[in-house]
């Protein structure tokens, strides 16, 4: 049995022995294809479910149960991000086109950030001119990381973004992580200034950004200014530890919130940052974090 199989077995045993509700913290209830979800006839069938011959609602995909009034659906664990209006996303500029940037947002199609949907340097409202269009690459170019909000969802599933609020814009030095979008719960706040001295952005699209608090981007310049000064080694080590903690939680399918991340960071202090890359250490941190989250719920 290899390390991955050992992790799956230990997680399965831990889930069996842990009775948690599907709340903001902890491990949610998982369903496998064909597993019975509900046998009552007064519920509506949503995505990821089907009715068998006995009128029993069963899961058609492996995922997490989502219930809205009488509508029951199963959200798959591994799927492309499907955006909703108001979602906070972290993305990477992939291409410049006429009056728009193309952005990789971990969805089926690239998203669009229109020139008219950004705050240009200075922050004042003005008519977008041909001069602004010619200097688009000065503001954002290929490879730049941005934080934005979903403004509209088109019929083909592609997204329209905006950065009109000054908290959005280009991201400075930091670490970008990719986790399953199902582990990011839609909440009112996705920007977190952690007490350990780090900034954390949990994008609804599954992209997570980590940066040092002392290197905040100057949003008064429309969100395009960057601080490229040298980051102290202590802050780099802190960001690296935070990265490994988030990956440990994601590998164990624990929902990512500011609380779960801080708990994992606290439990990881007995290991060095590079030791957290080992499967045994990562699993230990994840189980201890899950235990603390369970005590918090109880």
CB within 8 Å of 156: residues ≥ 6 apart: 109
Q: Which residues of 154-212 form beta strands (DSSP E)?
A: 159-163, 169-170, 175-178, 191-194, 198-202, 207-212
Comparing CA positions, the residue from 62, 66, 29 lying closest to residue 44 is 66
- Neighbouring-strand partners of residue 145: 92
Cα 70 to Cα 44: distance, rounded to the nearest angstrom:
6
Model confidence at 12: pLDDT above 70? no
Structure tokens at 166: 């000054």
Cα 138 to Cα 172: distance, rounded to the nearest angstrom:
15
In the Cβ-directed half-sphere of 255, how many Cα atoms lie within 13 Å? 22
Q: Does domain 32-77 have CATH number 3.30.1050.10?
A: no
User: What mean pLDDT value characterizes the chain?
Assistant: 83
Cα 47 to Cα 156: distance, rounded to the nearest angstrom:
18
pLDDT tens per residue across span 111-149: 999 998 888 776 666 667 788 888 888 889 999 999 999
Model confidence at 4: pLDDT above 60? no
Cα 34 to Cα 253: distance, rounded to the nearest angstrom:
21
Cα 4 to Cα 131: distance, rounded to the nearest angstrom:
55
Question: Which pLDDT belongs to residue 75?
Answer: 82
CA angle 10–15–17, rounded 5-degree value: 95
Threshold 0.75, pTM exceeds: yes
Structure tokens at 238: 């802190």
pLDDT tens per residue across span 37-60: 887 778 888 888 998 888 888 999
CA angle 86–91–97, rounded 5-degree value: 100
Going by pLDDT thresholds of 50, 70 and 90, the confidence category of residue 285 is very high
pLDDT tens per residue across span 162-214: 998 888 999 988 999 999 998 898 888 999 999 888 999 999 999 999 998 75
Question: Which pLDDT belongs to residue 149?
Answer: 95
Cα 139 to Cα 35: distance, rounded to the nearest angstrom:
50
Comparing CA positions, the residue from 197, 206, 235 lying closest to residue 83 is 206
Residue 204 has a CB neighbour count (10 Å cut-off) of 24
Could you state, in order of their start, the residue ranges of all structural domains in the chain?
32-77
Cα 208 to Cα 186: distance, rounded to the nearest angstrom:
14
Q: Which of 172-186, 254-268, 277-291 comes out lowest in average pLDDT?
A: 172-186
pLDDT tens per residue across span 27-41: 567 888 999 888 777
Average pLDDT over residues 86-90: 95
């Amino acid at each position: 049995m290899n390390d991955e199989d050992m992790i799956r077995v230990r997680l399965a045993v831990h889930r069996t022995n842990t009775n948690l509700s599907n709340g903001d913290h902890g491990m949610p209830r998982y369903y496998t294809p064909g597993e019975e979800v509900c046998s009552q006839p007064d519920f509506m069938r949503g995505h990821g479910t089907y009715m068998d011959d006995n009128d029993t609602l069963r899961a058609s995909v492996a995922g997490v149960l989502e219930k809205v009034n009488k509508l029951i659906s199963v959200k798959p664990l591994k799927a492309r991000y499907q955006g909703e209006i108001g979602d906070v996303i972290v993305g990477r500029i992939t291409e410049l086109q006429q009056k728009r940037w193309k952005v990789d947002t971990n969805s089926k199609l690239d998203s669009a950030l229109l020139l008219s949907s950004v705050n240009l340097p200075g922050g004042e409202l003005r008519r977008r001119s041909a001069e602004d269009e010619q200097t688009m690459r000065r503001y954002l170019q290929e490879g730049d990381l941005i934080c934005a909000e979903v403004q509209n969802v088109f019929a083909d599933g592609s997204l329209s973004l905006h950065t009109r609020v000054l908290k959005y814009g280009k991201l400075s030095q930091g670490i970008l992580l990719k986790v399953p979008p199902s582990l990011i719960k839609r909440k009112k706040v996705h920007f977190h200034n952690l007490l350990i001295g780090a900034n954390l952005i949990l994008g609804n699209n599954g992209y997570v950004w980590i940066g040092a608090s002392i290197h905040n981007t100057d949003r008064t310049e429309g969100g395009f200014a960057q601080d490229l000064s040298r980051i102290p080694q202590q802050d780099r080590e802190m960001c690296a530890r935070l990265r490994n903690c988030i990956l440990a939680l994601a590998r164990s399918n624990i929902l990512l919130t500011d609380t779960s991340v801080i708990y994992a960071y606290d439990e990881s202090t007995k290991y060095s940052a590079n030791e957290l890359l080992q499967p045994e250490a990562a699993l230990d941190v994840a189980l201890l974090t899950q235990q603390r989250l369970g005590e918090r719920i109880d």
